[in-house]
């Protein structure tokens, strides 16, 4: 599913509010990106070029794709056609700033909230002043990397719904069943060993006022963007905030279908799911990861199988479609724990659910998983060699065995999928056909039907 560039739109809008002339070039549906970049530069003659970088790679151990060679070539094209400074920003930069700056041979990146930091940076540039002291910036100065701490680790935030129509080709996204992203909070307080969310958004919550979330949803739905995805790191923590958001949404007639794929089995109960149903949710995802206490502890998920089983029990009393998300191969994983998790998935999933298995975990520099992998002798690469993805698999289980087990389970359960499924080249066509037939997101609730149909057409899915 193409993801609408919420970050880039927010930054563009903030710069315009600060009085700048802004052009946003979205390369999502562009067939010849270099030609598009060349034309946009010649037309708009920018003083500064900001590049929004979301993904480093596809996080898929089986069929790894690395995206930054393409980024580097876009940087080169920009430089070929104008001498203006290039500034990088986006989630990828917050994850591995030094490595990306070195790789792209760019000297400055924004790590903090771009809508605040980038206008400050532009103001300093316009005045010809230095900007190395602005909080939330990274620099590469002749081989020396420095960064300033990001501001905003607590307090409140605004619910920023950019005017997507103003910046991107909304019909092109809608025709592929894309959802419009919206954030109700920033920050993540969990300590999962592999995760970068704290590095991107900080570990203190910044919560948006529920009434402002309801207003933003209404505004987006009124503009025709009725499928809205709440892209918080974890939607249901803090629990009271999630409930507050649902209550504010339930009070108004917004006409939107909501989703969030990032719910945690902790802080999860009937009251919350009922509130989500009243609020207009059409789907939700539970990042359960495993049904083994040993693995959940190894991943430092902050919950146990008690909460996992309770979540499954809660879902039996509701009809809201659920995406169950599992992560196999973490510290402590064995053949026995994998079997336990598969068995749990087989009993928990209802017909309208989808079950997604990810095998192997992307290791990011600075995470606890990196230290574990080094201690266990699994990882010898230096941080700069980790930009091209490296993955962790527990030394007590074989990756190919796990892949076979998951495939075996998938052959019995048509609503089970793995990373191969979400990388299928036919998926964009499936999205378009579904859109033409009037199917509304989430499409994954029809996984059984889609997999069966594709198999009947002779595809090995």
The b/e string for 105-114 (b: 16+ C-beta within 10 A; e otherwise) is: ebebbbbbbb
Binders of ligand B12 in range 213-272 (CB under 6 A): 229, 231, 233, 261
Smallest gap from Cβ 217 to ligand B12, in A, equals 14
Cα 246 → chain centroid: 22
C-alpha torsion angle, residues 353, 362, 197, 246 (rounded to 10)? 0
What residues pair up with 50 in beta bridges, in sequence order?
Answer: 87
325 in contact with ligand B12 (CB under 6 A): no
418 in contact with ligand B12 (CB under 6 A): no
Closer CB to ligand B12, residue 8 or residue 342?
Answer: 8
Binders of ligand B12 in range 362-401 (CB under 6 A): 362
The DSSP element (H or E) to which 429 belongs, if any, is: helix 427-436
Binders of ligand B12 in range 287-306 (CB under 6 A): none
Closer CB to ligand B12, residue 340 or residue 353?
Answer: 353
Decide: 46 and 84 in contact? Cβ < 8 Å. Answer: yes
| Distance in angstroms (rounded) separating the CA atoms of residues 268 and 286 | 10
Smallest gap from Cβ 456 to ligand B12, in A, equals 26
179 in contact with ligand B12 (CB under 6 A): yes
Binders of ligand B12 in range 303-322 (CB under 6 A): none
β strands within 119-190, DSSP E: 137-141, 144-147, 156-157, 180-182, 185-186
Smallest gap from Cβ 336 to ligand B12, in A, equals 26
Decide: 289 and 299 in contact? Cβ < 8 Å. Answer: yes
334 in contact with ligand B12 (CB under 6 A): no
Binding test (CB under 6 A) with ligand B12, winner from 147, 157, 176, 183? 183
Q: Specify the stretch interacting with ligand B12 by CB under 6 A; choose among 47-55, 125-133, 263-271, 346-354.
A: 47-55
Q: Which long-range contacts (CB under 8 A, 24 or more apart) does 273-276 make?
A: 273/314, 273/315, 273/317, 273/318, 273/320, 274/318, 275/242, 275/243, 275/246, 275/247, 275/250, 276/246, 276/320
Binding test (CB under 6 A) with ligand B12, winner from 44, 58, 148, 203? 58
Binding test (CB under 6 A) with ligand B12, winner from 13, 68, 90, 311? 90
Q: Half-sphere exposure of 250 toward its Cβ, with a 13 Å CA cutoff?
A: 14
Percent helix, percent strand, percent coil in the chain, to nearest 5:
45, 15, 40
24 in contact with ligand B12 (CB under 6 A): no
95 in contact with ligand B12 (CB under 6 A): yes
Smallest gap from Cβ 4 to ligand B12, in A, equals 6
Which residues, other chains included, contact 244 with Cβ-Cβ below 8 Å and sequence gap of 6+?
210
60 in contact with ligand B12 (CB under 6 A): yes
Q: Applying CB under 6 A, which residues contact ligand B12?
A: 2-3, 6-8, 10-11, 50-52, 54-60, 87, 89-92, 95, 110, 113-115, 118, 179, 181, 183, 196-197, 200-201, 229, 231, 233, 261, 362, 422
């Amino acid at each position: 599913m193409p993801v609408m560039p919420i970050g880039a739109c927010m930054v563009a809008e903030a710069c315009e509010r600060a009085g700048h002339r802004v052009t946003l070039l979205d390369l999502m549906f562009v067939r010849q990106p270099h030609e598009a970049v060349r034309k946009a530069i010649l037309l708009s003659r920018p003083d500064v070029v900001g590049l929004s970088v979301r993904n480093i790679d596809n996080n898929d151990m089986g069929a790894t794709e690395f995206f930054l060679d393409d980024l580097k070539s876009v940087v080169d094209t920009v430089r070929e056609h104008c001498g203006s400074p290039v500034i990088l920003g986006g989630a990828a930069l917050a994850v591995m700033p030094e490595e990306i700056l070195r790789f792209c041979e760019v000297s400055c990146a924004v790590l903090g909230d771009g809508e605040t930091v980038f206008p400050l940076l532009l103001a300093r540039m316009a005045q010809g002043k230095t900007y190395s002291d602005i909080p939330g910036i990274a620099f590469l100065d002749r081989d020396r990397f420095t960064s300033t701490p990001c501001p905003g680790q607590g307090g409140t935030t605004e619910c920023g719904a950019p005017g997507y129509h103003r910046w991107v080709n909304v019909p092109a996204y809608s025709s592929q069943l894309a959802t419009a992203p919206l954030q109700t909070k920033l920050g993540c307080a969990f300590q999962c060993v592999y995760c970068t969310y704290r590095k991107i958004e900080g570990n203190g919550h910044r919560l948006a006022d529920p009434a402002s979330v309801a207003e933003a949803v209404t505004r987006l739905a009124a503009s025709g963007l009725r499928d809205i995805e709440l892209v918080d790191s974890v939607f249901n923590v803090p629990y009271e905030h999630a409930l507050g958001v649902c209550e504010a949404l339930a009070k108004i007639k917004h006409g939107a279908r909501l989703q969030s794929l990032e719910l945690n089995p902790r802080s999860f109960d009937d009251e919350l799911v009922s509130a989500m149903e009243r609020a207009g949710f059409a789907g939700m995802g539970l990042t359960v990861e495993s049904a083994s206490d040993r693995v959940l502890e190894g991943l430092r998920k902050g919950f146990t199988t008690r909460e996992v089983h309770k979540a499954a029990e809660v879902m039996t009393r509701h009809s809201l479609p659920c995406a169950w998300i599992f992560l196999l191969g973490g510290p402590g994983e064995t053949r026995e724990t994998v079997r336990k998790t598969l068995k749990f998935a087989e009993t928990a999933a209802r017909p309208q659910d989808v079950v997604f298995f990810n095998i192997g975990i992307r290791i990011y520099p600075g995470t606890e998983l990196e230290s574990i992998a080094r201690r266990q002798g699994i990882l010898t690469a230096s941080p700069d060699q980790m930009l091209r993805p490296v993955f962790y698999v527990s030394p007590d289980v074989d990756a190919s065995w796990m892949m076979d087990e998951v495939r075996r389970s998938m052959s019995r359960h048509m609503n089970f999928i793995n990373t191969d499924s979400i990388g299928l080249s036919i998926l964009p066509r499936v999205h378009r056909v579904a859109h033409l037939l009037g199917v509304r997101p989430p499409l994954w609730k029809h996984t059984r039907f889609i997999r069966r149909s594709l198999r009947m057409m002779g595809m090995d899915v």
